Chain A
Amino acid sequence: MSIQIIKAGILDSLQGLPGTGKQHQGFSPGGSMDTIAHLMANALVGNKRDAIVLEMHIPAAVIVFNKETLFTFTGALTSATLDNETVYSNQPIIVNAGSKLTFNTPANGARIYLAVHGGFKSKKGRLQKNDVLLTAQNFNYHFEGVGQLHALTTGWTANTGEFYRSNTIRCIHGPNFNVLSKKEIEDFENKRFEIDLQSNRMGFRLKSNPICHTITPELLSTAVTRGTLQLTPAGQLIVLMADHQTTGGYPRIGTVISADMASLAQMPIGSSFGIKWIDIQEAERLLLQQETNLQQLENACKFRLQEYFSEK
């Protein structure tokens, strides 16, 4: 099975989950920006968690399916036109060979994740027009009705709303939080941080007023993580995202909690949010809660798929 990109989007790439074990050699973990959308997409088509998915920024690619398959798209909430019918995010869809998928705008979010049954075979780097993406296994389910759309579970949509928040992002203090003055710390909770145009998969530059006038001390480079809030010499923040460098020398004033990273990854350029400081115990509690809810939803997807195919 394969799909073909017949019109490239603004930035399409194949992504796995963040890599492990090579950061000490300078390799960025990389992986899907929105890992919740990644996991949901795989769950909806019966894949393992780490199967490779197609990450698309908006405007997204136009795609043709070369063979029948089971697919879904998650992440940014959007509709798409599949031949002549409208389909929506977070639904498993069976599609026939030759069908064309075009995403509709606007979308609520910044990144769309498309998964096919079996997952894609990896192909590194940015995807281009006419690229053919092979899948790791075929979809052994045939149905009647050539050129006709079949939605797998009529009206069934996985509700992912609870995983995303838009107004505030929760952070824990970083080791250099104290480089901020008392006034700057006070200002922080009332500030809005706008995602600057110069933002990408490596990091989001944030704009806020007033800027921090802290004279940043000389710091030795040390490890940084996805979500690290670095204070630049210009007095603004950069939040590190999936393709971040493994080490950095700017003051680290905080870190976005893991449970809120997907929400941040779905914020488009130009949108803004507030920062709320919480402690590490609360961050752990929120992560555990999120993971528990996610596993429940994954199990529900699995059950629905089994049920559907056993009836056929």
Chain B
Amino acid sequence: MSATSSYQIYPISDQAVTLDFGGPISLETNDRVYMLVDALIKNKIEGVTDIIPAYNSVTVVYNYMTVYQRQLKNENVIPIYTFIKDWIENNVNQDVSGIKLSKNEIIIPVCYDKTVAPDIEYVADQHQMSTQKVIELHTAKTYRVFMNGFLPGFAYMGIVDPAIQTPRHQNPRPLVQAGSVGIAGVQTGIYPCNSPGGWQIIGKTPLALIDENENILLTPGSFVKFNAISLLEFEKLNKQ
């Protein structure tokens, strides 16, 4: 069996099926996730309401009755779960070599000043380096948005340089401010709104991650680069 056909597929409800590639967080697996998402969107069937990518899985949510009625018309009597499962598997087994993932890169200005980055000194101490080095390593990489989740517009990004990887706090903070940039293990992310949270906060962006019409900035599959700005610039941008 080739690597591209190894996966598990199972129901997570009577109206949702997950295809799980398994394994740890990796760009390669996440590429396969977005290739499958693209194929499913292209070959979408009536009654599918959501296609939710995650690190190494894709979940299809469907309206049972809509799919059932469509099946009835086609005089097809297999269980709806089996029908959806087959549809997903037909798409994962497709030749995906022609599909190109978006390489859209978004630049996020981040202020790493300790007045807005309560954990940056802790992270530096943990790795016995200067805060400047933490900033250098965090801004050096281009990150993939592996998935959205947790909050509307929250992007799980990676992979963080091993030299600054730090586990999350054992006890989450009751309040992390909107725009806070955090790291947790291999992941980095930005809180789109005020929220409780356990990630190590090493910076803050003045950009809004979600607008009043619920459009989000960091969509799944896009690429992100952080650009360090001074506290003065942050305050100027924050006022706009």
Compute how far the CA of A222 lies from the CA of B53 in the bound complex, rounded to whole angstroms: 8
- In the complex, what residues of B have CB within 8 A of residue A291's CB? 64-65
Q: Does A147 contact B (CB under 8 A)?
A: no
Q: Does A69 contact B (CB under 8 A)?
A: no
- In the complex, what residues of A have CB within 8 A of residue B80's CB? 284
Compute how far the CA of A241 lies from the CA of B161 in the bound complex, rounded to whole angstroms: 37
Q: Does A151 contact B (CB under 8 A)?
A: no
Question: Closest approach, in angstroms, between the C-beta of A225 and any C-beta of chain B?
Answer: 4
Digit string of A246-263 for contact with B (CB within 8 Å is 1, else 0)? 110000100101100000
- The interface-forming segment of A8-16, A20-28, A159-167, A264-272 is A20-28
B81 touches A221 (CB 8 A): no
A26 touches B151 (CB 8 A): yes
Question: Closest approach, in angstroms, between the C-beta of A11 and any C-beta of chain B?
Answer: 20
Give the residue of A175, A245, A281 whose beta carbon is less than 8 angstroms from that of B149.
A245
Q: Does A224 contact B (CB under 8 A)?
A: yes
- In the complex, what residues of B have CB within 8 A of residue A114's CB? none
Q: Does B13 contact A (CB under 8 A)?
A: yes
Q: A23-B61, A220-B25, A287-B14 are in contact. Are A245 and B150 (CB under 8 A)?
A: yes
- The interface-forming segment of B91-99, B125-133, B199-207, B212-220 is B212-220
B54 touches A220 (CB 8 A): yes
Question: Closest approach, in angstroms, between the C-beta of B67 and any C-beta of chain A?
Answer: 10
Give the residue of A24, A280, A281, A287 whose beta carbon is less than 8 angstroms from that of B52.
A24
A25 touches B65 (CB 8 A): no
With an 8 Å Cβ cutoff, the count of chain B residues facing the other chain is 43
Q: Which of A281, A284, A291 has the most CB of B within 10 A?
A: A284
Give the residue of B13, B24, B59, B150 whose beta carbon is less than 8 angstroms from that of A255.
B13
Question: Closest approach, in angstroms, between the C-beta of A236 and any C-beta of chain B?
Answer: 18
Give the residue of B49, B56, B81 whose beta carbon is less than 8 angstroms from that of A20.
B49
Q: Does A234 contact B (CB under 8 A)?
A: no
Give the residue of B18, B53, B153, B220 whose beta carbon is less than 8 angstroms from that of A175.
B18
A223 touches B59 (CB 8 A): yes
Question: Closest approach, in angstroms, between the C-beta of B177 and any C-beta of chain A?
Answer: 18
- In the complex, what residues of B have CB within 8 A of residue A224's CB? 12
- In the complex, what residues of A have CB within 8 A of residue B81's CB? 280-281, 284
Compute how far the CA of A66 lies from the CA of B10 in the bound complex, rounded to whole angstroms: 51
Q: Which of A152-176 contact B (CB under 8 A)?
A: 172, 174-175
Digit string of A96-120 for contact with B (CB within 8 Å is 1, else 0)? 0000000000000000000000000
B14 touches A172 (CB 8 A): yes
Q: Does A75 contact B (CB under 8 A)?
A: no
Q: Which of A174, A223, A224, A226 has the most CB of B within 10 A?
A: A223
B14 touches A24 (CB 8 A): no
Q: Which of A1-46 contact B (CB under 8 A)?
A: 20-28
A20 touches B50 (CB 8 A): yes
Q: Does A288 contact B (CB under 8 A)?
A: yes
Q: Does A92 contact B (CB under 8 A)?
A: no
- In the complex, what residues of A have CB within 8 A of residue B143's CB? none
Compute how far the CA of A260 lies from the CA of B64 in the bound complex, rounded to whole angstroms: 15
Digit string of A226-244 for contact with B (CB within 8 Å is 1, else 0)? 1110000000000000000
- In the complex, what residues of B have CB within 8 A of residue A222's CB? 18, 20, 54-57, 59
Instruction: Give me the interface of A with B, judged by CB distance under 8 Å.
Output: 20-28, 172, 174-175, 220-228, 245-247, 252, 255, 257-258, 280-281, 283-284, 287-288, 291
